[in-house]
């Protein structure tokens, strides 16, 4: 089952060599880990995913989670997985030892999650949300809430969710109306939440909802939103559970991720739903957003993983399927020849290399952002920590968006490699294409990420984050310049950095004139522009590492392996980077065509 859904050699190469996990492991915080321990963990995850996740991937799509008789019916593997994820440490991995966790660097945690998501993206969400909900409690709730909930969540006995969206408030969280009425030390919660992933399932002993709600009398907008722990079943003083008036009223059937339930919840239908305030009143959105970087990296990681599974499925098909013949130098084909494998057709190779460039580049980006996170948490020097925080801030919308958007493109090419079979349910490609589509919507759509990137992150701390990122890129350019064969690529990237400055100067003009609508109108094309350049940087870094390994005669990986990375870098620079030229023209074009005016442009 070599590389059936993930290429572990490349994963380890990106983790250990390219993004240099060692630098993180050297920090005091992670002193109990070494590379060998992380590698063993990764191998055990792959082993588990092979046996308990990948075999159920198609089945979970074909038998989707659904609402029946007042509850959500999920594939039996969900319950098994939650329990085993607790045992394997998948949930506890990122938590401090103090909180009962394994205090593992997020680089390693994300490697583990990536493998699981590549194997079966319908399962890890249950763990991911439990982990995210527990993190909110650990970071912001009092000791009592911690003691009551966190151990049960880390063990996988209780699930967790994040309840943000309401029917009238999708991307616009300031319009949340779910209410919290003080009732002694606790609150009575009333309202409804939609799109709640992992919100309920048959046989779950308890589900711990982290709910955004408005305390009666709180200020309007985002400043009046508080965060509550609202369990499906509330623990009584004797430790037993009683119903907390949280009702699942419906589910959402979806085009993909059909094994991962999406629910519609009612809180307090019988006025008997108790919520426990997390931290201070009116700080809910702030708490939520302090955890948001992790959640957004997770979405990008999941998208990269889904696209990786799809890449290997189409690559394997291309190596097995004979079809047509190679063109001869005459421009003709010789029908008397045996058919050739389709991997030998240039157009098929182009589609496969595009997938390789997008998926491996995305994984590199995920590890890089994880490293920024780990170092921001673990660095002993405060200035260093601050530096990594800023780098993480500016990279978060990119690591969320690039794998999500380009992952769609990647899988779309994978489907095309299979021709008619790509469209058929019997083959897995179509499922990947359906599954990944949510990634560009989860945790803030691409439009919102793009506004975050251009409107907040580029300008934050007087442009300091962008400056730090530029320095990182320039350093990589410098390292690549040391290799004659890489110099042309390094120079191309340098030129794109200068182009970025030009584009930003042009856009900043609008902001300085106070025309913020215009400034942000093309935020999404800017995201495409900038993230394409960031990805070129990642490929230059990978290429430099591979070139160095070849020069040094490294035996960690084969020569072919390193050559293949260099080839993919070249592919990215030839086929992907040039699109930034057209994008820069769009971004510097003075004509405004999308602003809201009186003109009936859709007449």
Element (H, E) at 352: helix 346-378
Applying CB under 8 A, what is the total number of residues that bind a copy of itself? 111
Residue partners of 571: CB distance under 8 A and separation at least 6: 353, 354, 356, 357
Instruction: Choose the binding region for a copy of itself from 112-120, 349-357, 395-403, 543-551 (rule: CB under 8 A).
Output: 349-357
335: contact with a copy of itself by CB under 8 A:
yes
574: contact with a copy of itself by CB under 8 A:
yes
Choose between 13 and 372: whose C-beta lies nearer to a copy of itself: 13
309's tokens: 């599974």
Among 239, 331, 381, 498, binds a copy of itself (CB under 8 A): 331
Angle at 500 between CA 495 and CA 504, to 5 degrees: 150
Looking only at residues 576 through 595 of this chain, which bind a copy of itself when binding is defined by CB under 8 A? Answer: 578-583, 585-586, 589, 591, 593-595
Choose between 17 and 430: whose C-beta lies nearer to a copy of itself: 430
Q: What separation in angstroms does the CA of 459 have from each of 387, 390, 456, 598?
A: 15, 11, 6, 31
Q: How many angstroms from the chain centroid is the CA of residue 252?
A: 22
Nearest to 188 by CA among 282, 86, 267: 267
Residue partners of 293: CB distance under 8 A and separation at least 6: 373, 392, 393, 396
Instruction: Choose the binding region for a copy of itself from 66-74, 206-214, 239-247, 449-457 (rule: CB under 8 A).
Output: 449-457
Choose between 276 and 432: whose C-beta lies nearer to a copy of itself: 432
Looking only at residues 13 through 32 of this chain, which bind a copy of itself when binding is defined by CB under 8 A? Answer: none
Choose between 206 and 413: whose C-beta lies nearer to a copy of itself: 413
Bridge partners (DSSP) of residue 229 are 210, 276
Element (H, E) at 316: helix 292-320
Tell me the C-alpha distance between 393 and 537, whole Å.
18
330: contact with a copy of itself by CB under 8 A:
yes
254: contact with a copy of itself by CB under 8 A:
yes
Choose between 239 and 331: whose C-beta lies nearer to a copy of itself: 331
Shortest distance (Å) from residue 595 CB to a copy of itself: 6
66: contact with a copy of itself by CB under 8 A:
no
Looking only at residues 43 through 62 of this chain, which bind a copy of itself when binding is defined by CB under 8 A? Answer: none
Choose between 29 and 570: whose C-beta lies nearer to a copy of itself: 570
Shortest distance (Å) from residue 379 CB to a copy of itself: 33
Choose between 338 and 381: whose C-beta lies nearer to a copy of itself: 338
352's tokens: 């496969």
Q: Name the 3-class secondary structure at 235.
A: strand
Choose between 531 and 568: whose C-beta lies nearer to a copy of itself: 568
**Cβ atoms within 10 Å, residue 548:** 17
* Contact flags string 392-411 toward a copy of itself, x per CB under 8 A: ----------------x---
Choose between 44 and 323: whose C-beta lies nearer to a copy of itself: 323
459's tokens: 């300008």
Residue partners of 102: CB distance under 8 A and separation at least 6: 89, 92, 93, 94, 95
Among 100, 151, 221, 494, binds a copy of itself (CB under 8 A): 221
Shortest distance (Å) from residue 262 CB to a copy of itself: 8
Choose between 69 and 598: whose C-beta lies nearer to a copy of itself: 598
Residue partners of 189: CB distance under 8 A and separation at least 6: 178, 179, 180, 211, 213, 228, 230, 267, 268, 273, 274, 275
241 phi and psi, to 5 degrees? Answer: -110, 145
391: contact with a copy of itself by CB under 8 A:
no
Tell me the C-alpha distance between 530 and 334, whole Å.
46
Shortest distance (Å) from residue 174 CB to a copy of itself: 5
Shortest distance (Å) from residue 100 CB to a copy of itself: 33
Among 31, 142, 147, 171, binds a copy of itself (CB under 8 A): 171
523: contact with a copy of itself by CB under 8 A:
yes
Shortest distance (Å) from residue 573 CB to a copy of itself: 9
576 phi and psi, to 5 degrees? Answer: -110, -45
Tell me the C-alpha distance between 226 and 245, whole Å.
20
Choose between 186 and 222: whose C-beta lies nearer to a copy of itself: 222
Residue partners of 490: CB distance under 8 A and separation at least 6: 477, 478, 480, 481, 540
Among 133, 278, 440, 453, binds a copy of itself (CB under 8 A): 440
430's tokens: 């179509």
517: contact with a copy of itself by CB under 8 A:
yes
Strands (E), 57-138: 66-68, 71-73
Tell me the C-alpha distance between 153 and 133, whole Å.
9
Shortest distance (Å) from residue 240 CB to a copy of itself: 36
313: contact with a copy of itself by CB under 8 A:
no
Shortest distance (Å) from residue 527 CB to a copy of itself: 10
Tell me the C-alpha distance between 165 and 161, whole Å.
12
389: contact with a copy of itself by CB under 8 A:
no
Looking only at residues 257 through 296 of this chain, which bind a copy of itself when binding is defined by CB under 8 A? Answer: 262
């Amino acid at each position: 089952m070599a590389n059936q859904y993930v290429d572990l050699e490349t994963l380890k190469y990106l983790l250990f060599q390219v993004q240099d996990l060692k630098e993180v492991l050297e920090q005091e915080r992670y002193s109990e880990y070494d590379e060998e321990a992380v590698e063993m963990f990764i191998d055990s995850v792959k082993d588990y995913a092979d046996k308990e996740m990948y075999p159920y991937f198609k089945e979970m799509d074909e038998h989707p989670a659904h609402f029946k008789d007042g509850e959500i019916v999920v594939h039996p593997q969900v319950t098994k997985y939650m329990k085993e994820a607790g045992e394997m440490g998948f949930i506890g991995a990122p938590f401090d030892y103090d909180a009962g966790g394994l205090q593992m660097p997020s680089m390693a945690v994300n490697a583990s999650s990536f493998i699981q998501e590549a194997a079966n993206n319908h399962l890890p969400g249950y763990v991911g949300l439990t982990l995210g909900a527990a993190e909110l409690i650990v970071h912001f709730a009092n000791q009592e809430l911690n003691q009551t909930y966190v151990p049960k969540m880390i063990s996988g006995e209780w699930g967790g969710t994040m309840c943000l969206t309401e029917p009238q408030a999708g991307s616009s969280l300031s319009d949340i109306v779910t209410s919290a009425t003080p009732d002694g030390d606790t609150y009575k919660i009333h309202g409804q939440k939609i799109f709640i992933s992992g919100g309920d399932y048959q046989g779950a002993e308890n589900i711990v909802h982290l709910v955004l709600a408005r305390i009666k009398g709180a200020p309007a907008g985002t400043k009046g939103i508080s965060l509550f722990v609202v369990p499906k079943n509330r623990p009584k003083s004797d430790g037993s559970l009683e119903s907390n008036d949280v009702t699942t009223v419906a589910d959402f059937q979806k085009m993909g991720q059909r094994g991962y339930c999406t629910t519609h919840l009612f809180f307090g239908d019988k006025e008997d739903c108790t919520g426990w305030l997390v931290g201070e009143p009116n700080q809910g959105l702030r708490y939520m957003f302090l955890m948001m970087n992790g959640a957004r990296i997770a979405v990008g990681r999941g998208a990269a993983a889904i696209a990786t599974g799809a890449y290997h499925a189409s690559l394997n098909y291309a190596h097995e399927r004979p079809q047509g013949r190679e063109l001869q130098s005459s421009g003709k084909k010789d029908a008397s020849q045996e058919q050739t494998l389709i991997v030998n057709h240039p157009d098929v190779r182009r589609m496969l290399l595009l997938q390789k460039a997008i998926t491996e580049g995305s994984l590199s980006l995920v590890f890089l952002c994880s490293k920024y996170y780990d170092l921001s948490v673990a660095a002993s020097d405060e200035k260093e920590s601050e530096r990594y925080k800023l780098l993480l801030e500016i990279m978060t919308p990119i690591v969320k968006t690039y794998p999500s958007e380009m992952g769609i493109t990647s899988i779309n090419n994978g489907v095309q490699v299979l021709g008619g079979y790509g469209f058929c349910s019997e083959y897995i490609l179509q499922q990947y294409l359906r599954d990944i589509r949510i990634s560009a919507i989860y945790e803030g759509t691409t439009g919102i990420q793009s506004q975050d990137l251009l409107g907040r992150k580029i300008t934050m701390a007087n442009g300091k984050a962008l400056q730090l990122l530029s320095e990182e890129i320039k350093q990589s350019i410098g390292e690549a310049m040391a290799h004659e064969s890489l110099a042309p690529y390094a120079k191309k990237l340098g030129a794109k950095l200068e182009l970025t400055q030009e584009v930003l100067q042009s856009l900043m003009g609008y902001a300085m004139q106070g025309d913020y609508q215009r400034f942000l109108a093309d935020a999404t094309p800017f995201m495409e522009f900038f993230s394409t350049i960031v990805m070129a940087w990642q490929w230059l870094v990978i290429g430099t590492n591979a070139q160095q390994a070849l020069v040094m005669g490294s035996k960690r990986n084969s020569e072919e392996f390193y050559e293949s990375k260099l080839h993919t870098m070249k592919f990215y620079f030839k086929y992907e980077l040039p699109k930034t030229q057209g994008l820069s023209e769009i971004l510097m074009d003075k004509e405004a065509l999308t602003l809201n005016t009186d003109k009936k442009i859709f007449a």
